[in-house]
Amino acid sequence: MKKIINNPSHVVQEAIEGFMFAYSDSMTKVENVNGIIRKDLQDKVAVITGGGSGHEPLFLGFVGDGLADGAAIGNVFAAPTPNTVQEVAKAVDCGKGVLFVYGNYAGDVLNFDMAAELLEFDDIQTKTVLVADDVASAPADRKGDRRGIAGDVFVLKIAGAASGKGLSLDEVARVTQKAADQTFSIGVATSPGTIPGETEPPFVLGDDEIELGMGIHGEPGLKRTKLMKADELTDELVDKLLEESNIQASDEAAVYVNGLGSTTLLELLIVNRRVAQLLKKKGIQIYDMDVNSYCTTQEMGGFSISLLKLDDELKELYDAPASSPYYNKAQKSREGVK
């Protein structure tokens, strides 16, 4: 497997060095750990995200105005250490507390929770919102066991906007949890990704096979089946999302189609076209649509679809301007997607 790297043991450190060369005007690396923070910290609740490397531009690419204030970075597909999380939190805290927002994976939960305990000794108050949007990873009655995938983007957007309004830590956590509860995603893998330094992919798919619901690290999905046409595949994924989310006619939702790394924008746009057709047919109001590759898996083939059910409170926060190296949203008047 061809990868443009030097030493597999140095990929994360060297990637952060490259990031800092590009964005040192607005970012600062936290000393002695793999963490970055924004330079222009504000007097507000701080928002920290993080997780394993290999999903770029998550997580470091979402540090910026109206988004996260810092990111704690782990090795490839591995959680950041408690010390990394602790040092990033200490670097961004201004005395109003820190909200952790990250995907629901056992290693991340363990290490962020340990960091929260350590931060108590530093008199830094923390709260946590887990993103558990992957409807394929556990049934609805075990929603707390679901993984976090591309819905991280929606939840981080809301958290950053809420903290930017100057809300208290309790209020930022409340509305961010609301966004997490109303975010639903499902993905499909068409080909495996690669892990730097490994000679074999983490899983194998036949040339004509796909796996519906496969996780972003290759976790098992709902079923393995033959490749189907884009519309047929999108229909099946959207049906599952609507069944799980209970989003109905006249509801409003933001939509995000995320590429996993090797799927082209041309393909993603074809999927987005079908998503829009399906939601309109069901009378669901599309508040906004985004098509991009924010949550990747080392050139895995495939995509995910995320829906965020919106109410007036979430819409205001969703519309707040945001700017980071890999995500930008300008304030604009809204008439929904035509």
**Interval 229-261: pLDDT, tens:** 999 999 999 999 999 999 999 999 999 999 999
Say whether pTM exceeds 0.75: yes
Task: Summarize pLDDT for 249-304 with one digit per residue, the tens.
Answer: 999 999 999 999 999 999 999 999 999 999 999 999 999 999 999 999 999 999 99
For the chain, give the mean pLDDT.
96
Neighbours of 292 (CB within 10 A): 16
Token pair recorded at residue 133: 């949007």
Whether 94 has a pLDDT exceeding 70, the answer reads: yes
Specify the pLDDT at position 237.
98
Question: What would you measure as the largest C-alpha separation in the chain, in angstroms?
Answer: 56
Instruction: Give catalytic residue positions.
Output: 55, 217
Q: Render pLDDT for 62-79 as a digit per residue (tens, 0 to 9).
A: 999 999 999 999 999 999
The b/e string for 94-124 (b: 16+ C-beta within 10 A; e otherwise) is: eebbbbbbbbbbeebbebbeebbebbeeeeb
Q: What is the mean pLDDT of residues 79-96?
A: 98
Helical residues (DSSP H) of 124-226, grouped into ranges: 152-164, 169-181
What's the pLDDT band for 47 if we cut at 50, 70, 90? very high
184-225: pLDDT as tens digits: 999 999 999 999 988 888 889 999 999 999 999 999 999 999
